[in-house]
Each structure stands twice: as C-alpha cells, then as structure tokens.
C-alpha cells in the first residue's frame, strides 16, 4: 500500500489516485486534497485540469530547470464550507520546504466552483 500524500491515511489508489486517473472529486475538499497530492507528485497536468481557466497561471513552475526541489511535508484541512449550490471554500495549512531551506507554512482559504459537474479551484487567500 502506498499511503496518499493528502493526509487521510488511505491508500493512494483509493484516495487521490482515482481523481488523478480521471475520476470526479465529489466535493471541494476532495478536490483540494487531490490538488495537494498533485503538487507533491509535480503533476502539472492535473493541476491545470482542476484550475478554473480564468485564474490558471501560464506557468506553474513545477518543472523549472535548475530550480530547487520542493518537498511537501504535510497537509491539515481546517474547514470545508459549502457557501452556495456550486460554491465552496476549504481552509487548510500545508507545509513544505524548498531545497535545503527551512519549512514554510502555507495557510490558505481556497475558493472552488462547480462547473459542468466538476469542482475547480478558483483562487486562494493567504491567512
């Protein structure tokens, strides 16, 4: 068993792996967890596919030649809130380290929308 990076303790294939393979995340929290796992695995294709086209950046910087490697250290979901029929927010803390540097704590409240039955990341507000 390969434990999923998203912190659920479940097997990757039964957790985020099914979304990375084309399954549809049932809610914004599942999508956010799968996006965290995609960052861990440097899966730019999945990140782009789950990012709202109006806010998706041209470059993600995951595979920049010569750039120091990012090591993801953990994820903690603080809150998942449905704010409308097709709108939700997820507050989380993710920890990571770039190269041999100190650990960084990313605390964000992310906004998601559901379009055509699929949840998409829109934007995040750092806390």
Could you tell me the domains of the chain?
A: 12-126 (3.10.450.50)
- Please give the Cα distance from 51 to 47 (Å, whole number): 6
The closest alpha carbon to 109, from 32, 50, 19, 4, belongs to 32
Whole-model pTM?
0.94
Q: What sign for the dihedral angle of Cα 81, 49, 40, 71?
A: negative
Residue 73 has φ and ψ, to the nearest 5°, of -110, -15
| pLDDT tens-digit series, residues 51-108 | 999 999 988 877 677 778 899 999 999 999 999 999 999 999 999 999 889 999 999 9
């Amino acid at each position: 068993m390969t434990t999923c990076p998203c912190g659920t303790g479940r097997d990757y294939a039964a957790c985020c792996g099914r979304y990375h393979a084309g399954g549809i995340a049932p809610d914004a929290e599942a999508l956010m967890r799968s996006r965290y796992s995609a960052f861990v695995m440097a899966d730019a294709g999945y990140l782009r596919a789950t990012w709202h086209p109006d806010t998706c950046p041209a470059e993600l910087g995951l595979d920049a030649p010569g750039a120091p490697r990012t090591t993801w250290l953990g994820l903690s979901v603080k809150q998942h809130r449905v704010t409308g029929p097709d709108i939700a927010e997820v507050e989380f803390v993710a920890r990571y380290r770039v190269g041999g540097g100190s650990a960084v704590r990313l605390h964000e409240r992310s906004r998601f929308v559901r379009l055509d039955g699929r949840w998409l990341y829109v934007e995040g507000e750092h806390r």
